[in-house]
């Protein structure tokens, strides 16, 4: 609509560059800063499946550690876990990946359950991941 009216907002035009300048000022240049393509959309970087699984596991552990500190209980996994697992599994089926990566993608849930049981002994029950997957599959 703004293009139809030929309206330009100086603040909105400055915002993407301003955010980038602030991050670079605070953190310095980094290869991990997301790259943008036209219209300031982020350029998608596809990491290897093994790396994405490791990152997911680290994020879930970080999330649950903070959840435990704040509420002293772990009842379920966040929805982003299930969405990310589905995305990784779909990618493993569609892309040309090794058999090892396909196996890793198929066994994310079992591996995550083991990691959680090791990280939170006696705080995570044995079927947490499977129960959450079943519950969220009904919602998704």
More reliable by pLDDT, 87 or 13: 87
Q: Is 42 helix (H, G, I), strand (E, B) or coil?
A: strand
Rounded Cα gap, residues 9 and 79, in angstroms: 36
Domain ranges of the chain: 2-40, 49-139
Rounded Cα gap, residues 104 and 47, in angstroms: 15
List pLDDT tens digits, range 77-127. 888 888 888 889 999 998 888 899 899 989 988 898 888 888 887 777 677
Please tell me the predicted confidence (pLDDT) of residue 134. 67
Rounded Cα gap, residues 73 and 123, in angstroms: 7
Please tell me the predicted confidence (pLDDT) of residue 54. 92
Tell me the pLDDT band of 4, cut-offs 50, 70 and 90: low
Using an 8 Å Cβ cutoff, are 36 and 42 in contact? yes
Give, rounded to a whole angstrom, the gap between the first and last alpha carbons of the chain.
33
More reliable by pLDDT, 22 or 89: 89
Please tell me the predicted confidence (pLDDT) of residue 34. 65
Please tell me the predicted confidence (pLDDT) of residue 117. 84
Rounded Cα gap, residues 64 and 77, in angstroms: 8
List pLDDT tens digits, range 47-86. 888 999 999 999 988 988 888 888 887 777 888 888 888 8
């Amino acid at each position: 609509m703004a293009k139809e009216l030929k309206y330009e907002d100086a603040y909105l035009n400055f915002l993407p560059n301003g955010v980038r300048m602030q991050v670079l000022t605070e953190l310095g240049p980094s290869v991990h800063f997301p790259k943008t393509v036209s219209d300031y959309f982020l350029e998608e970087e596809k990491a290897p499946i093994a790396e994405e699984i490791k990152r997911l596991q680290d994020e879930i552990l970080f999330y649950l550690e903070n959840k435990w500190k704040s509420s002293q209980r772990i009842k379920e996994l966040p929805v982003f876990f299930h969405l990310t697992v589905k995305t990784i599994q779909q990618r493993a089926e569609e892309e040309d990946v090794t058999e090892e990566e396909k196996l890793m993608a198929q066994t994310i849930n079992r591996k995550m359950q083991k990691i959680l049981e090791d990280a939170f002994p006696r705080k995570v029950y044995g079927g947490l991941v499977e129960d959450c997957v079943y519950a969220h599959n009904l919602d998704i």
